Structure 1
């Protein structure tokens, strides 16, 4: 299985490019969403300035196209996903928004990032990548194509709230974006209040599907951890220690299965491949959460993808799938 922090990208879709930049792009304001131009947005590599509202939007990484859809907008290009996606390369929670006549799916599996040529063919007015991990050299190439709204801090560690705000600001809909944030915040708060047993239960989110005798432990700066703590869970002491000792700046830490007890928690949410039973490993089977029955083992790729793509469309979709399991785990944890 491909690494869970980078959903796989398949072959370049042969979708015909449609449309061109609208004359309204020269407008200095976006009265329908509370935004005004020019607007400058800081990122890890500097500041991106959009002189006018962009019409031809290309998204990269995860989540950006979902935020656009929630804002009533359609990108001209977005990644084609493999892990957890429907056969057409679109995630299930975004299927009803996707129109192959309007949006081209792209990839470049050899280079690891979409080819500059493929993106240039889309003639973007702006490239939205607030949740990504490319380096400055690639950012510079993107910026020569169009203003590129990159991630503002460490790679793959932009909160879902900041992703939504950044995109809303870029497309001239900051007020609507704040409404989306408030809406999902209320959904999470309501879910937490409906399940008071979540409150204060320690949590570890782990990927056992590494095939390398180790596990990936997701740290508190990872959005998939953050969305679960917004339900009332707290990070296990062992997870907090890994975060304090983390020198790499990454959103996860590899640990040997021999040391997996170091991150034991009241509730463990674990990703598996569905083919190999992780409980067959004595170290995993000995975890307190496993023995209590308070480990939630997820093997459905769409559910794992839904919890890994943390945005205003995916989270309501995935909560319906996982909250009953989390509630049972919290109950068993005592």
Structure 2
């Protein structure tokens, strides 16, 4: 196996899926309908664990979700939750077209998604969500009840965990696990994830006590982002590799926007840069600026520069990497993405520190 704050819906391209309908022979009747319903439920969700008691009221940032009985048809209102559905072995009945940004999750979702809708101007296409006839709608990053108001008229809505300003994927997975009576499965996955990264830390003692600055250079006049801010998913991922917390992050803008004047204040032992500029000459000019070149991480060759193309391919030192999917989102989307990033990044981080 190859080892998040909510973003705009416009940021959330298509894996068109279909569902195979199996015609059952025999007489029609209540028993046949019940059998068909059970088969459909079994194909979309793993067996219930019997831990969640329904009716269940789930407190979320978009308001309480009252779930009368165990859901069978669950809409993943934002494909940002793909890792969570995959981790639990749940097949959503519908989601948005950007699901193909997360191939590591798609390959682990056990069934085919019935409906995939295009990204539009609204947060969620209520009509297309309704057409999936869901009994639960999920977006574990949704924090504004206004955004989900129309969805709540269709089915109960599970938004972000209540009372957590920046929920990590573990918080979101536990919430979804409880709603679907899959809490044990959620905890087992969290434990397995922990073991994977415990092994990484044991294999790479050179990371201990070192810090990382993770920047994104967007190009085209859009500036630079400092991504591993305090309590962020990128910072949690880097510390799970075994790096120390970047205490300098406390004095940097927490919105991620990093002015050129602040480049010289970076203190990380390693500098990781995601170059998303369409014009390589533009990036080269920025990277050669005195503010960056004076950083110890740059002067001592402790830099990892990954170049991202518009088709989401990643190159390093001129060589295409074995990474498919949306690299930028992988830092925040969830645990399966983190395992993919570990495969990509850990060897490179180790190489610049040894």
- Tell me which interval the TM-score lies in, with the shorter structure as reference length: 0.7 to 0.9
Change (3 A) 1:5 1:217: farther
Deviation at 1:178, TM superposition (A): 0.3
Q: Contact between 1:116 and 1:142, CA under 8 Å: does it hold in 2?
A: yes
Task: Pick which of 180-189 and 36-45 moved more.
Answer: 36-45
> Which one of 20, 24, 32 corresponds to residue 49 of structure 2?
32
Change (3 A) 1:268 1:209: same
Q: Contact between 2:126 and 2:151, CA under 8 Å: does it hold in 1?
A: yes
1:212 equivalent in alignment to 2:225: no
1:316 equivalent in alignment to 2:339: yes
SS at match of 2:57: strand
What is the alpha-carbon distance in structure 2 between the residues aligned to residue 213 and residue 63 of structure 1?
23
Query: Any idea what the Cα deviations from partners look like across 1:158-194, whole Å, max 9, x if unmatched?
Result: 2111111111111110011000001101111111111
Change (3 A) 1:125 1:9: same
What is the alpha-carbon distance in structure 1 between the residues aligned to residue 48 and residue 19 of structure 2?
31
Change (3 A) 1:94 1:192: same
1:202 equivalent in alignment to 2:207: no
> Which one of 135, 143, 146 corresponds to residue 125 of structure 1?
135
2:115 aligned partner: 104
Which of the pair has more CA radius of gyration? 2
What is the alpha-carbon distance in structure 2 between the residues aligned to residue 263 and residue 18 of structure 1?
57
Deviation at 1:77, TM superposition (A): 0.9
1:157 equivalent in alignment to 2:161: no
What is the alpha-carbon distance in structure 2 between the residues aligned to residue 110 and residue 11 of structure 1?
17
What is the alpha-carbon distance in structure 2 between the residues aligned to residue 190 and residue 177 of structure 1?
20
Gaps of 5+ in 1: 247-251
Q: So what's the TM-score if we normalise by structure 1?
A: 0.80
2:300 aligned partner: 292
Deviation at 1:100, TM superposition (A): 8.2
What is the alpha-carbon distance in structure 2 between the residues aligned to residue 99 and residue 173 of structure 1?
15
Q: Contact between 1:201 and 1:330, CA under 8 Å: does it hold in 2?
A: no
Deviation at 1:322, TM superposition (A): 1.2
